[in-house]
Structure 1
Amino acid sequence: MAEHPVRSQDTSDGAQGTAADHEHAPADQGTPGAQTAWGRHHDVPDLPAYPGAVDPWAWSHRPARVAVRRDLIPAVSVLSAVSVFGLAVGWLWSALAPGMLVQVVDEGKLAAIRTESYHRFDDLVLFMLLGLGAGIVTGAAVWLLRERRGPVVFVAAVVGSAVAAWLAYQVGLSWAGSRFPLPDAPKLGDVLDLAPRLESAWGLIAWPLGTAIAYGLAAAWNGRDDLGRRLG
């Protein structure tokens, strides 16, 4: 009686068993590569496709762009409007800034009375505070122009604030001088009230700085690519 090789029988039986397993095994509907710790795929059902379906994991909006041409004319309008307010701030400073009492001494020289020289500092601080407050109001007001938010209008607001500060500086000194007229020929020992002065031009940066801070904080708080420019 001939003996059959054991290895060939095992191989044929294993092949038949493997084929049978494949026939009865359920079809894998999971996503490729998504396997559990036991080596089998997750069973993830396919989402139904219908018209208008949106992938929640895809970016559905286009990146925002700077509209230079469209914002150019509004930016010029913002610059002009902000500059005009420099006249109002200059008048307000000339009405609030204190004068400095001085006395006529030898050879027509003027000597400040005790503690009156502090008003030189007060005049500069008052001008800077008014400019800073006006800058914050300017930045907030320009930010409310929602359809024009962006770097173009921002630059226009800052430049307009700088022009407004310069106008306030010029007209403020002129109007302050008219409030404190000096006699034509002062005599020795006379006490005079000098007009307020601004001895430093650094006070001009307060207004544009306030505008930049207010607008920048609003833009940082908004946190959107288009700064909320698109309505709806």
Structure 2
Amino acid sequence: MISLRRTRLRTALLIGCSTAAVSALIGVLWAFLAPAEHLLVVAEGRGIALTGESLHQFDAVAIFFLLALILGVLTGVAAWLARLSRGPYALGGLIVGSVLGTALMAAVGTGIAKLRFPSVDNPAVGEIIARAPGIGTLLVLIVQPLAACITTLVLVALSPYDDLGVADHADDADVEADVLSEPATQELS
């Protein structure tokens, strides 16, 4: 017979691996959504951004941020649905999976973006080239784990049970029906 602890460890491992795998797939999505920045080559090794193109650096970071935020919320809810494993094991698997997943998301996404927009060696002066998008700042790597933790915190706070609903509980409607069906009698002394 498999112990409850072993089941919780397996579920935590499954949560972590699934989160990391889905994050890598979202990195592929980001690579196709993030726009390239177009530059005009003005001298050898120097280029200037065309009008409005420098905003694409922000666009790439904002798209990464939003995808990581959405993924963090969804993985937090998905981990919560593993009812028998709710608690520190599931949260640990979720955090580890989110940290590894957001790193994979950035690595896979920037790698595919560089394949989509390869760097040009020795472009001619006056040529317009596309530069691959990047994540811009490493601070966006904290978004997915933070969103997953906050989502889990909210779900824990909203749980009506001390054990987070792991054990089987009587339906609240059945309990109310039993209380209402008993006659209210009081002794007068």
For this structure pair, what is the TM-score category when the shorter chain's length is used for normalisation? 0.7 to 0.9
Question: Is 1:78 aligned to residue 45 of structure 2?
Answer: no
Per the alignment, residue 185 of structure 1 pairs with: 122
Give aligned pairs, total. 166
Q: Give SS of 1:147's match.
A: helix
Which digits, 9 at most, give the CA deviation of each residue in 1:136-164, with x for residues without a partner? Answer: 10011111111111122112101101110
Q: Distance in 1 between matches of 2:120 and 2:69?
A: 35
1:71 Cα deviation after fit: 1.9
Residue 70 of structure 1, CA deviation: 5.0
Q: C-alpha root-mean-square deviation of aligned residues, in Å?
A: 1.5
1:136 match:
73
Q: Give the 5 Å matches for 1:4-19.
A: none
**Which has the bigger relative contact order, CA under 8 A and spacing at least 6?**
2
TM-score by length of 2: 0.83
Aligned to 2:144: 207
1:23-62 map, 5 Å: none
What letter matches 1:179 in structure 2? R
- Partner residue, 2:91: 154
Find the aligned partners of 2:72 and 2:113 in 1 and give their Cα distance: 22
Separation in structure 2 between the aligned mates of residue 106 and residue 217 of structure 1, nearest angstrom: 54
Q: Which has the higher helix share?
A: 2
Q: For residues 183 and 155 of structure 1, what CA distance do their matches in structure 2 show?
A: 44
Whole-angstrom CA distance in 1 between matches of 2:44 and 2:131: 18
Q: Which residue of 2 aligns with 1:63?
A: none
Whether the 8 Å CA contact 2:8–2:90 is kept in 1: the answer is yes
Contact 1:158/1:212 (<8 A) preserved: yes
Name the residue aligned to 1:229: 166
Q: Which residue of 1 aligns with 2:133?
A: 196
Over residues 110-137 of structure 1, what are the superposed CA-to-partner deviations in whole Å (9 max), with x where a residue is unaligned?
Answer: 1111221111111111101000000110
Report the CA distance between 1:72 and its aligned residue.
2.1
Q: How does 1:81-160 map to 2 (within 5 A)?
A: 81-160=18-97
Report the AA paired with residue 213 of structure 1. Answer: I
The structural deviation recorded for 1:103 is 0.7
Contact 2:8 / 2:84 at 8 angstroms: preserved in 1?
Answer: no
* Matching residue's letter, 1:198: I
Structure 2 residues without counterparts, runs of 5 or longer:
170-189
Find the aligned partners of 1:70 and 1:145 in 2 and give their Cα distance: 11
Unaligned 5+ segments in structure 1 are 1-66
CA distance in 1, matches of 2:7, 2:129: 56
Task: Give, in whole Å, the separation in 2 of the partners of 1:146 and 1:114.
Answer: 53
Aligned-partner Cα distance in 2 for 1:73–1:141: 15
Task: Quote the Cα distance in structure 2 between the aligned partners of 1:126 and 1:142.
Answer: 24
| 1:108–1:188 contact (8 Å) kept in structure 2 | no
Offset of 1:185 from its aligned partner? 3.0
Alpha-carbon distance between aligned partners in 2 of 1:207 and 1:95, rounded to the nearest angstrom: 19
Render the CA deviation track for 1:15-72: whole Å, top value 9, x for unaligned. xxxxxxxxxxxxxxxxxxxxxxxxxxxxxxxxxxxxxxxxxxxxxxxxxxxx756522
For 2:103 and 2:148, the matched residues in 1 are separated by 15
- Aligned partner of 2:107 among 142, 166, 170: 170
The offset of 1:73, in angstroms, is 2.6
Q: Which has the larger radius of gyration?
A: 1
